[in-house]
Amino acid sequence: MAPPQPEELRKPSPAESREWTLRFLQALGVDESLPASAERPDAYSALIRALLSSATVSSSPAPRVSCTLLVSSAVTNSYNTLHGGAVAAVAEAVGMACARAAAGDKEMFLGELSTAYLAAARLDVRSTVYFPSSILPNRSLFVFVVSSNFLNNF
């Protein structure tokens, strides 16, 4: 007996594609309005600062920033683990704090950020994050290494 023929896949019509896309966006909450606090110019910074607590900055002998990060439902993905974008946002914010501890209040920007994940931080997990910096001599370049220890991750 011959195996059944697979159903022939057809390309959806433009109307079907529009309908599927609209349903997807509505499921994400595109029709809901943002709270007034999200319209403020510093809303992004306030969101990132709200994730961090127990922040300490030391400038000697080497600049170092450490803080505690609590994984809340506001920054988790559908797997209830810390969203990758939140990891990068926290690394950027605290990395800039470390750069300011080392160089003072100079004009600076983040040139490149690379992130590698070894294990996902789960919802309601508290993590201590350390940001030691290395300053390359005779340059205005800072290299940051981020180390995080997640407690009760499993």
- Residue 41, Cα to own-chain centre: how many angstroms? 19
What pLDDT shows up at residue 149? 59
pLDDT 10s digits, 33-77: 888 888 888 888 888 888 887 677 666 666 667 778 888 888 888
Give bridge partners of residue 148 from the DSSP assignment.
Answer: 129
In the predicted structure, residue 15 carries a pLDDT above the cut 90: yes
Map out the domains of the chain with their CATH numbers: 52-105+115-154 (3.10.129.10)
How does pLDDT run across 82-120, given as a tens digit for each residue?
Answer: 888 888 888 788 777 777 777 777 777 777 777 777 777
153 or 31, which is more confident: 31
Close Cβ partners of 7 (under 8 Å, ≥ 6 residues apart): none
121/140 Cα distance (integer angstroms): 33
